[in-house]
């Protein structure tokens, strides 16, 4: 909670509001290095690799196509053919510094 803009746990209207809370602006600066990878959420890379023939090894050993993941649109999927993918599993941090009633 020390990274959150709102420090009072009771100020959050819902569970979703808590998990989408704003952080203090200087807590997690964006990387400025050339070719840096920046993630929008805390997580762990579970898979990374090539998109071959439109197929992406995505989750739990199941392959998905770029077309499937982009709502069935061949046009939207085409730029990703022969590209790269990364799957990031959301990492839930256990909160130990508050009492939730």
Instruction: Round to whole Å and give the CA distance between 2 and 4.
Output: 6
CA dist list (Å): 56 to 11, 37, 64, 100, 101: 41, 19, 5, 40, 43
Name beta bridge partners: 72. none
pLDDT value of residue 46: 82
pLDDT value of residue 100: 45
Q: Is 11 helix (H, G, I), strand (E, B) or coil?
A: helix
CA dist list (Å): 82 to 66, 74, 101: 10, 14, 50
Instruction: Round to whole Å and give the CA distance between 31 and 60.
Output: 30
DSSP assignment letter at 27: T
Q: What is the pLDDT along the chain (101 residues), one digit of tens a residue?
A: 788 888 888 998 988 888 788 888 888 788 889 888 777 677 788 888 898 888 886 667 777 888 998 999 999 999 999 999 888 887 665 544 444 44
Tokens 């909160």 sit at which residue?
95
pLDDT value of residue 75: 94
pLDDT value of residue 92: 61
pTM over 0.75: no
């Amino acid at each position: 909670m020390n990274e959150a803009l709102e420090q009072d746990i009771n100020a959050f209207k819902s569970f979703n509001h808590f998990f989408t809370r704003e952080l203090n602006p200087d807590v997690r600066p964006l990387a400025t290095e050339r070719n840096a990878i920046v993630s929008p959420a805390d997580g762990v890379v579970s898979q990374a690799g090539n998109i071959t023939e439109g197929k992406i090894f995505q989750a739990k050993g199941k392959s998905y196509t770029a077309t499937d993941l982009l709502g069935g649109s061949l046009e939207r999927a085409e730029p990703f053919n022969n590209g790269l993918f990364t799957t990031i599993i959301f990492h839930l941090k256990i909160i130990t510094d508050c009492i939730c009633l």
